[in-house]
Amino acid sequence: MASSKGSKAYFREGHFSGGRPLQAAGIEVVHDLPGVGENLQDHSEVYIQYACKQPITLNGRMDPLSKLRIGLEWIFLRRGLGVTNHFESGGFIRSDASVTWPDIQFHFLPAAMRYDGKQPLKGHGFMVLTGPNRPKSRGHVRARSADPNEHPEILFNYLDREEDREGFRRCVRLTREIIAQPAMDPFRGEEIARGRDVQSDDEIDAFVRQTMESTYHPCGTCRMGEDAMAVVDSGLRVRGLEGLRVADSSVFPSEPIANLNAPTIMLAERASDMIRGPPLLPASNAPVGLAEGSGERQRPGHPIRSSARGSGGGMDATRTMPAFPRRTADA
């Protein structure tokens, strides 16, 4: 089983699921597992785009001749712009001083366009893709009918929880703060993609609802646990059945902070060991630790935060914002 949605399809065809949704779809219930298809989660993100003052971005390579040259250079020489996905930088940060581990992810792309490459900015630009990585909203996957070829009903329920809406507000404001730093002055032009007039909570909420996209990290619909809504136990065995396990991202009780590929591979390798039965590897003795002072403050002091309503490309690099409060030991 390859995914959160794929697991649901398997269970539907096997008549294992929550009784009411299956009965409503005209499917006989053989084994009632009410948690199947529930607890659906996903990462999502928005694009925050800027014009670039210098002619150095990929928007200058969108003409047919440039595309042909990039393709030929990759095919015959294995070099050039075609060898990378162009997400050359990124990062994870904490949105607040009270947060222990990063809860916001960034990708930086040296171009301003949609994911599918359509509607690129005419002129040079760049963008930051960002979103909260600990979503609280939950959706579901449910069968529509007994026909296995009919697509299921998928409801991600994005932004249902206020925590997720506030998470996106922080993403937008922190992105603007980062791009407003003096180091970006030679490159940063006007903010586009709705632009600098989007400032209030309501304006940011509307921008997010209109532009957010999935990052294709669905999980959680056959979650692991011991309660009545859990589908598999800690050994990945389907509760109440013998000889059936689930080994994919659908068993994650909550969304991992980062992308799903590595944790899903980890899960699959662990499932293989559970089935084959070899002894566990010895505990790792690799040293781990945190840098001195890590987690005590969000920043060491007052950051320079340019105003989005100033002059010179919308930036005023003289404004400062107070640092986040110090994190206490019991936070």
Of the listed ranges 150-159, 178-187, 234-243, 272-281, the one predicted with least confidence: 272-281
Domain boundaries of the chain, sorted by first residue: 4-41+222-272, 44-135+162-214
Give pLDDT, residue 308: 42
Query: Is pLDDT larger for residue 8 or for residue 232?
Result: 232
**pLDDT > 70 fraction of the chain, expressed in percent and rounded:** 82
Mean pLDDT of 192-208: 90
Calpha distance 106→177 (Å, rounded): 13
Give pLDDT, residue 249: 96
pLDDT tens, residue by residue, 204-247: 999 999 999 999 999 999 999 999 999 999 999 999 999 999 99
Long-range CB contacts (within 8 A, 24+) of 104-108: 104/130, 104/131, 104/132, 104/133, 104/167, 104/170, 104/171, 104/174, 105/43, 105/45, 105/130, 105/131, 105/133, 105/257, 105/258, 106/130, 106/175, 106/178, 107/45
For the chain, what is the mean pLDDT?
84
Of the listed ranges 109-123, 193-207, 244-258, the one predicted with least confidence: 109-123
E strands within the chain? 16-17, 31-32, 38-40, 44-52, 89-93, 104-109, 125-132, 139-142, 153-155, 188-191, 213-214
Give pLDDT, residue 318: 41
Q: What share of the chain is helix, strand, coil (3-state, %, to 5)?
A: 25, 20, 55
The reported pTM is 0.81
CATH for 44-135+162-214 is 3.30.410.40
Query: Is pLDDT larger for residue 330 or for residue 72?
Result: 72
Among 48, 190, 30, CA closest to 107: 48
Q: Does domain 4-41+222-272 have CATH number 3.50.50.60?
A: yes
Residue 151 annotated among the catalytic residues of the structure: no
pLDDT band per the 50, 70, 90 thresholds, residue 107: very high
Of the listed ranges 6-10, 122-126, 142-146, 251-255, the one predicted with least confidence: 6-10
Residue from 107, 140, 217, 302 carrying the catalytic annotation: 217
CA 38 to chain CA centroid, nearest Å: 19
Mean pLDDT of 42-46: 96
Terminal-to-terminal C-alpha distance of the chain? 40
Of the listed ranges 20-34, 174-188, 266-280, 287-301, the one predicted with least confidence: 287-301
Give pLDDT, residue 283: 85
Task: Answer for the pair 61, 70: CB distance below 8 angstroms, yes or no.
Answer: yes
Give pLDDT, residue 110: 94
Of the listed ranges 4-13, 36-45, 256-265, the one predicted with least confidence: 4-13
